[in-house]
């Protein structure tokens, strides 16, 4: 499976989301943008300006959309576009999707760092005004992604570390699971939960 995480908006959460999913699913992680991924995900993560098409991979695409990026987008199973509820982030998410929709038709917008229902509603409204049936899922403001990236752990691994972390993640986790389900499809999602020893609640 190949997953792309992309938006031209800087700081929207591409690297945090790409790492979480790659580590969770045991996929390679390739990025054309500097970050800590090689240090925290040794042997599996690689930063390189020359990205290649491989299998079992998450791509974390920073910067502008080059011809090389488009070639990879064409062969991805899903394109994840993180978007914060601010005008700049939404404008860039829309531009990114507009530019890429010729090459892929399976987009998932993650309304990220949401603080209330309004954040999700506004991202949904603004994106769906432009792309009527695009899927938008929320991912609340959380420390889980930052903690995961710092310790090189996926969200499921973080919550299994301690009762305190599990408690801190109690509202984040259902949203994160919905994202995994949307990425994997129902069957593979159920397999993943079994494999990770995570309940479906």
Is residue 142 a contact point for ligand ATP (CB under 6 A)?
yes
Q: Which stretch binds ligand ATP (CB under 6 A): 87-95, 128-136, 140-148, 173-181?
A: 140-148
What span, in angstroms and rounded, lies between the C-alpha atoms of 99 and 63?
A: 14
Please list every residue from 18 through 37 that binds Mg ion, using CB under 5 A: 35
Contact 54, 30 (CB under 8 A): yes
What span, in angstroms and rounded, lies between the C-alpha atoms of 26 and 40?
A: 14
Closer Cβ to ligand ATP, 91 or 188, answer by number: 91
Is residue 112 a contact point for Mg ion (CB under 5 A)?
no
For ligand ATP, the binding residue among 14, 23, 90, 124 (CB under 6 A) is 14
For Mg ion, the binding residue among 8, 15, 32, 89 (CB under 5 A) is 15
Closer Cβ to ligand ATP, 85 or 112, answer by number: 112
Is residue 90 a contact point for ligand ATP (CB under 6 A)?
no
Contact 45, 59 (CB under 8 A): no
Compute how many residues bind Mg ion; rule: CB under 5 A: 3
Could you tell me the smallest distance in angstroms from the CB atom of residue 187 to ligand ATP?
27
For ligand ATP, the binding residue among 15, 96, 104, 154 (CB under 6 A) is 15
Cβ of 50: how many Cβ atoms within 10 Å?
7
Label residues 91-120 b or e (16+ Cβ within 10 Å = b): ebbbebbebbeebbeebbbbbbbbeeeebb
In three-state form (DSSP H/G/I as H, E/B as E, the rest C), the secondary structure along 164-189 is HHHHHCCCHHHHHHHHHHHHHCHHHH
Dihedral pair phi/psi, residue 168, rounded to 5°: -65, -25
Could you tell me the smallest distance in angstroms from the CB atom of residue 34 to Mg ion?
8
Could you tell me the smallest distance in angstroms from the CB atom of residue 145 to ligand ATP?
5
Footprint of ligand ATP (CB under 6 A): 10-16, 33, 62, 112-113, 139, 141-142, 145-146
């Amino acid at each position: 499976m190949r997953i792309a995480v992309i938006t031209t908006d800087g700081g929207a959460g591409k690297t945090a989301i790409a790492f979480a999913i790659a580590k969770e699913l045991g996929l390679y992680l390739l990025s054309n943008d500097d970050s800590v991924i090689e240090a925290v995900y040794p042997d599996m993560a690689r930063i390189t300006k020359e990205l290649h098409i491989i299998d079992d991979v998450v791509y974390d695409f920073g910067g502008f959309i080059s011809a090389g990026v488009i070639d990879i987008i064409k062969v991805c199973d899903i394109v994840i576009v993180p978007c914060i509820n601010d005008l700049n982030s939404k404008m860039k998410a829309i531009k990114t999707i507009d530019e890429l929709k010729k090459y892929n038709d399976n987009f998932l917008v993650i309304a990220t760092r949401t603080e209330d229902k309004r954040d999700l509603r506004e991202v949904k409204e603004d994106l769906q005004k432009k792309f009527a049936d695009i899927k938008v899922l929320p991912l609340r403001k959380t420390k889980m992604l930052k903690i995961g990236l710092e310790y090189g752990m996926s969200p499921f691994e973080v919550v299994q570390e301690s009762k305190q972390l599990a408690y801190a993640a109690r509202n984040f986790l259902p949203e994160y699971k919905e994202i995994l389900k949307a990425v994997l499809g129902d069957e593979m999602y159920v397999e993943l939960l079994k494999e990770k020893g995570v309940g479906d609640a």
